Structure 1
Amino acid sequence: MSDSSKEKVMFLREEFAHGEGTVKYSKTSKYEGSWKFGLKDGFGVHTLSDRTKYIGQHQNGLRHGKGIEIFPKGEKYSGNWKEGIRDGKGIYSWPSGAKYVGQWKNGKKNGNGILTKVDLGNYEGQWKDGEQHGEGSLTFENGYKIKGVWILGSPLRGAASWPNGNKYEGQYKDWKWHGQGNLSAPSGQHIIGEFRDHKPWNTIEYDKDGLVVGKVEDGVQTIENSSQIIPKLEVDTPN
């Protein structure tokens, strides 16, 4: 068989395409690959007019099976597709080095996955419609960590720890301590009660021996025993 007989056919229009061949949609847009009665079916390379490129499997004219989508600015998705949408296991990467590895559904992060951002940290856990949602843990490069329950990208309740040994366990709202919580230090001193907007609101402060050394009522601090006042817990919250 001669080399010329192996050359792919150039179809004038999609509806005429069947077998191996190419359809050009514009100067910068074309599909090269397998066709079945006018529909993309099998392996092929689809280059869009904006220079986005898809390399992979098709079925009934849609991306279906394994495939790679490469964007002009360097972002890339590599994984499973279902009826034209990202669905199943896949990896999405950014030029910055950030990467998501996990499950997809309806074109968005859904299920379990790990998002890693360079010089920041990573989130490992559950996702819903592209947001952290469900059980998960977020770890920053500086050593700060929060593990708990997330809702639409923000912690709802969980346990946070800092490199200096301080810990907070309780409720959150908009990334701030809000609701019932316990803020503690390695020395044993701790503050228990209601927090609002990242501050004690109705709380009791104890020393390492369990003695009450301070109170906050409606956001105003009162002192039970002035001789046992302890320094405020030093907590550095990551930006």
Structure 2
Amino acid sequence: EPEGDGTMVYADGDVYTGQWRGGLFDGQGTHTFTGGDKYVGGYRAGLRHGKGTMFYASGDRYEGGFKEDLRSGLGTYTYSGGKYVGLWEADMREGEGTDYDPTGNTYVGQWKKDCIQGKGTNYYADGNTYEGGWKDGLFEGHGTYHYADGSKYVGD
């Protein structure tokens, strides 16, 4: 079983180069997948763990923390025309985060299970702003909608 530093080329075409312990990826390594994805970073007991960068075949990229093979802690996910910077738990956006979307809108606030939920502010590309409660990505409860012309709506 592999131990120390080394490279393994798998029958399916995947390649891992890095540190091994007890036959498992452990320490720093690079795993290149046949589908075009690539991970560079830390491993523990065969799972992505600690700091790392995942390059997706689609062109998307995640850079940040991993725990037991899932995105966790502070991380940045860059996707076509946009970017999310914030907290992750169990591979989902969770807690405080900021999303810059491809249409020019920016959301700053709370997330739950990969969805906008809780308190937050959305800054729209047209100059309007909504500040207040959110549930499942939609306005929820009390909030204030500020229009670019200076007028505002306050309500539930």
Range class of TM-score, shorter chain:
over 0.9
The one-letter code matched in structure 2 to 1:149 is G
Larger radius of gyration: 1
- Number of the residue aligned with 2:17: 32
What's the Cα RMSD here? Answer: 1.1
Paired positions, count: 155
Task: Give the whole-Å Cα distance in 2 for the aligned partners of 1:152 and 1:95.
Answer: 23
**Residue 114 (1) aligns with residue 104 (2):** no
Task: Give the whole-Å Cα distance in 2 for the aligned partners of 1:152 and 1:103.
Answer: 17
User: Helix, strand or coil: the match of 1:46?
Assistant: strand
The one-letter code matched in structure 2 to 1:84 is D
Give the drift of 1:94.
1.2
User: Helix, strand or coil: the match of 2:54?
Assistant: strand
Task: Give the whole-Å Cα distance in 2 for the aligned partners of 1:161 and 1:88.
Answer: 32
- Number of the residue aligned with 2:64: 79
Give the drift of 1:165.
2.2
The superposition leaves residues 68-108 of structure 1 with CA deviations (integer Å, 9 ceiling, x where unpaired) of 00011210000000111111000000132x00000000100
Q: Larger % of strand: which?
A: 2
Q: Of 117, 124, 128, which aligns to 1:140? A: 124
The superposition leaves residues 36-60 of structure 1 with CA deviations (integer Å, 9 ceiling, x where unpaired) of 0101000000111211000000001
- The 8 Å contact of residues 26 and 49 in structure 1, kept in 2 or not, is answered as no
Give the drift of 1:117.
1.7
The one-letter code matched in structure 1 to 2:61 is K
Q: Larger % of helix: which?
A: 1
Task: Give the whole-Å Cα distance in 1 for the aligned partners of 2:79 and 2:71.
Answer: 17
Task: Give the whole-Å Cα distance in 1 for the aligned partners of 2:18 and 2:48.
Answer: 13
- The 8 Å contact of residues 100 and 106 in structure 2, kept in 1 or not, is answered as yes
Runs of 4+ in 1 over 2 A off after TM superposition: none
Give the drift of 1:170.
1.4
Task: Give the whole-Å Cα distance in 2 for the aligned partners of 1:30 and 1:100.
Answer: 29
The TM-score, its normalising length taken from structure 1, stands at 0.63
* RCO comparison, higher one (Cα < 8 Å, 6+): 2
- Number of the residue aligned with 2:28: 43
Task: Give the whole-Å Cα distance in 1 for the aligned partners of 2:136 and 2:102.
Answer: 22
**Residue 128 (1) aligns with residue 112 (2):** yes
- The 8 Å contact of residues 103 and 111 in structure 1, kept in 2 or not, is answered as yes
The one-letter code matched in structure 1 to 2:13 is T
- The 8 Å contact of residues 26 and 43 in structure 2, kept in 1 or not, is answered as yes
Task: Give the whole-Å Cα distance in 2 for the aligned partners of 1:22 and 1:114.
Answer: 38
Task: For 1:96-111, list aligned pairs within 5 A.
Answer: 96=81, 98-111=82-95
Gaps of 5+ in 2: none
The TM-score, its normalising length taken from structure 2, stands at 0.95
Identity level (%): 36
